[in-house]
Amino acid sequence: MTELTPDIAHHAALDARLVKAVKGIRLLSQVSWPASVQQQFLAAAAQGRYAMPVIAYPKYDFSEERRELDAIVREADPGHPIGHYLCESARSWSMAAELLECLGTPTVTEHSIRLFGRPDEPLPGNGPSTREAAHHFIDIANELDRELLSPAETVAISATALQLQLQSALDDFFDQRVIEVVLDPDLIAKAAAGATRIRLRHGAAFSDYDRHQLIEHEAFVHSLTALNGREQPHLQSLALSSPRTTATQEGLAVFAEQITGSIDIERMKRISLRIEAVAMALDGADFLQVFHYFREAGQSDADSFTSAQRVFRGVPPTGGAAFTKDTVYLRGLISVHTFFRWALRQRKLLLCRRLFAGKMTLGDVQRLEPLFDHGVLVPPRWLPKWIVRANGLAGMLAFSLFANRIRLDAVAKDEDFFEV
């Protein structure tokens, strides 16, 4: 094991304190609604009655944890790579604690925006806003003919069958039982992943694309980064889902779907509909209006409830407030895709692999590069196949770098182009 210098030892001790301080702060599970609310709503909806859900949130007091996080910020050196990481992480966890302390109030929206941003923020590179990008994917999905779907894509897979398929694939990947796939009747979302467990909603139906997405997105990004973070000898917080890493985590996960061909236009549409729904809620739409927005977009009652619930987690369902996490997916995807292209151009593809060594931001992996080089941080133990095959990744990125220079509006004016 690498002998620690005093500065590394100091910050490693602070990191251990951070891990202990945030143990009770579980943002996503603590803002989520109980499954009973969904069951009651859908039972009434089956009879044509759509009643506004009523959510009773527990009262939390994280004042002691926030004091400890403030102390960590004071004691860390912001000019040190780990110190900077710890300061930003501690502040992020503190914001999450403040959000949880005011569940059920409009104030949650303010904290959520601080953590995850808004739909009207510009994408990286001063591009269009996240909401404008969402409209782009929604419009394309609406234009495409669903009859182009292959028969295999329309066959429903039961949760039980998918559990067996995923478990077999993961056991083969690890050559042992590392991640357990379980059925959860109390899960509102169709699936959720932790470091060593993936939960599927009991009774849900999945598609073939869902199966591939769950492997690439949930297992080989969210679970692998947590597992690899646990392997870090001096920075254990890299195993934790810090709120500040959400955009990079979700962006990397959707990028993984894209590069493996596991994503379809309907998936992009679902992601985009959620972004538009967040914007609608912020503009005053209530839960029922957002629920019917998803129904009109073609989702079932159960899926519409799940989608609308994501938007109103932790906030009043009466409109004007939203939990804005779903805005990070497209922003994160664009950021990660741009980072990978930049890494190829700078001959730093090793940084892309190091993103899997724990849960970190794109800035973190660059600032922490010297610590990887000196053995303070260890490389990821497990990697998905698509990033192990560096030549294939480089080929795709090289093509992307060049193809992005071609302007479609100019191509449309070239009468000879389609004679090629």
pLDDT at 390 > cutoff 80:
no
pLDDT digits (tens, 9 = 90+) for 225-269: 999 999 999 999 999 999 999 999 999 999 999 999 888 888 899
Q: Which of 329, 375, 327, 336 is nearest to 356 (CA)?
A: 336
Residue 123: band (very low, low, confident or very high) from pLDDT cuts 50, 70, 90: confident
Q: C-alpha distances in angstroms, 331 versus 3, 146, 210, 226, 257?
A: 39, 27, 22, 22, 15
3-state secondary structure of 157: strand
More confident of the two residues 160 and 151: 160
pLDDT at 34 > cutoff 80:
yes
Half-sphere exposure of 87 toward its Cβ, with a 13 Å CA cutoff?
Answer: 12
Q: What percent of the chain has pLDDT over 90?
A: 75
Average pLDDT, the chain: 91
Which of 100-114, 156-170, 172-186, 339-353 has the least mean pLDDT? 339-353
Q: In the structure encoding, which two tokens stand for residue 301, read together?
A: 């009652």
Q: Which of 60, 62, 77, 95 is nearest to 15 (CA)?
A: 77
Residue 417: band (very low, low, confident or very high) from pLDDT cuts 50, 70, 90: very low
275-279: average pLDDT: 98
Q: At what angle do helices 328-345 and 390-403 cross, to 10 degrees?
A: 100
pLDDT digits (tens, 9 = 90+) for 130-149: 999 999 999 988 887 555 55
pLDDT at 111 > cutoff 90:
yes
At position 241, the amino acid (one-letter code) is: S
Q: C-alpha distances in angstroms, 280 versus 13, 105, 293?
A: 44, 18, 10
381-392: average pLDDT: 86
More confident of the two residues 393 and 343: 343
Query: Rounded CA gap, 306 and 291, in Å?
Result: 9
**What does the pLDDT read at residue 407?**
58
pLDDT at 213 > cutoff 50:
yes
Q: What count of residues does the chain have?
A: 420
Radius of gyration of the chain (CA): 22
118-125: average pLDDT: 89
Q: In the structure encoding, which two tokens stand for residue 145, read together?
A: 């003919």
At position 190, the amino acid (one-letter code) is: K
3-state secondary structure of 322: coil
**What does the pLDDT read at residue 413?**
55
Backbone dihedral region of 175: left (phi > 0), alpha (psi from -120 to 50 degrees) or beta? left
Q: In the structure encoding, which two tokens stand for residue 327, read together?
A: 């805005």
**What does the pLDDT read at residue 130?**
94
pLDDT at 22 > cutoff 90:
yes
Q: What percent of the chain has pLDDT over 70?
A: 92
Q: Angle 265-270-271 (CA atoms, 0-180°, nearest 5)?
A: 95
**What does the pLDDT read at residue 376?**
96
Q: Which residues pair with 291 in a beta bridge?
A: none
Q: What structural domains and CATH numbers belong to the chain?
A: 6-411 (1.10.1370)
**What does the pLDDT read at residue 265?**
85
Residue 152: band (very low, low, confident or very high) from pLDDT cuts 50, 70, 90: low
Backbone phi, psi, residue 35, to 5°: -60, -25
Half-sphere exposure of 31 toward its Cβ, with a 13 Å CA cutoff?
Answer: 31
pLDDT at 343 > cutoff 60:
yes
Query: Rounded CA gap, 201 and 224, in Å?
Result: 21
15-36: average pLDDT: 96
pLDDT at 203 > cutoff 50:
yes
